[in-house]
Structure 1
Amino acid sequence: MALHPALTPVADLVGTWRGPGRGEYPTITSFTYTEEVTFTDVGKPFLTYLQRTWSPAGDPMHTETGFFRVAGGEAVEFVLAQPTGQTELAEGSLVTEPRGFATELHSRVVNAASAKIVDATIRRLRLDGDELTTEFAMAAVGLPMTHHLGSVLTRTA
């Protein structure tokens, strides 16, 4: 199956990535985790996305799933669902770099009635060869946009 032409700028993202991460937020104790993300080509103009994290003891922590789309070669759309009761529609520009790309995605968030309130998020992804760096900030529970998570992942498959 050939990669859809719309995905050419992010073709090197396809695969599984894994590595260490660190989380913090003013309302919680800082923590470390292992993160794994998988971007899968399904022959359509989007990649499927699955993210999972584990504590240092190996206990599951968080997961989310969604779709990563490239629109017009320069815009990225990331549609995400989380079991914590949020959905995100994150959009941003794609900046091509010599060994990959970078993007900063600003989201609109919808919260379920039982979920903690997340007003907005910013996700930054940078692909540099076989290293994927992620950063995640959020405005939540009455606080302004604040850094929450960061990870450095390497390709495992």
Structure 2
Amino acid sequence: MALHPGLSAVAGIIGTWRGRGAGEYPTIDSFAYTEEVTFTDVGKPFLHYVQRTWSPAGAPMHTETGYLRIVDGSAVEFVLAQPTGQTELAEGPLTATDEGFTCALASRVANSASAKLVDGTERRIELAGDVLTTHFAMAAVGVPMTHHLKSVMHRI
């Protein structure tokens, strides 16, 4: 199956990535985790995305799924659903680099009635060869936009 031409700017991200991460937030203790993300080409102008994390002891922590959409090779729309009761529509510019790309995304978040309140998120995704780095900030439970997570993953 040929890659949809609209995805050429992010073709390097297709596959599975795994690595270590660290999290912090004013309302919780700092923590470490292992993260795995998979971007799958499905023959359409978007990539399917699945993310999972585990504690250092191997206990499951978080998961999310969604779709990475590329608009005219210059913008990203990341549509995500989380079992914690949030959906995110994260959007922002896509910038090509010598080894891949970067994108800085700001989101609108919808919360289910039983979910903790998340007002917004910001994500930064950096692909440099076989290294994928993610940064995640959020405004939640009365705390303004604050760094929460960073991971550095390698292609597996």
Question: What is the TM-score normalised by the length of structure 2?
Answer: 1.00
CA deviation after TM superposition for structure 1 residue 82, in Å: 0.1
Amino acid at match of 1:30: S
Amino acid at match of 1:144: P
SS of the equivalent of 2:144 reads coil
1:142 aligned partner: 142
1:20 aligned partner: 20
Q: Runs in 1 of length 4+ with deviation above 2 angstroms?
A: none
2-side partners of 1:88 and 1:152: how far apart?
22
Matched ranges for 1:124-143 at <5 A: 124-143=124-143
CA deviation after TM superposition for structure 1 residue 26, in Å: 0.1
CA deviation after TM superposition for structure 1 residue 119, in Å: 0.3
CA deviation after TM superposition for structure 1 residue 128, in Å: 0.1
CA deviation after TM superposition for structure 1 residue 125, in Å: 0.2
Consecutive unaligned residues in structure 2, runs of 5 or more: none
2-side partners of 1:143 and 1:24: how far apart?
13
Cα deviations by residue, 1:14-66 (Å, 9 ceiling, x for unpaired)? 00000000000000000000000000000000000000000000000000000
Aligned-pair identity (%):
72
1:89 aligned partner: 89
SS of the equivalent of 2:25 reads coil
Consecutive unaligned residues in structure 1, runs of 5 or more: none
2:118 aligned partner: 118
Amino acid at match of 1:111: N
Question: What is the TM-score normalised by the length of structure 1?
Answer: 0.99
Matched ranges for 1:23-102 at <5 A: 23-102=23-102
Amino acid at match of 1:31: F
CA deviation after TM superposition for structure 1 residue 73, in Å: 0.9
Cα deviations by residue, 1:92-148 (Å, 9 ceiling, x for unpaired)? 000000000000000000000000000000000000000000000000001100000
Amino acid at match of 1:2: A
Q: How many residues align?
A: 156
2-side partners of 1:126 and 1:73: how far apart?
16
2-side partners of 1:73 and 1:133: how far apart?
20
2:4 aligned partner: 4
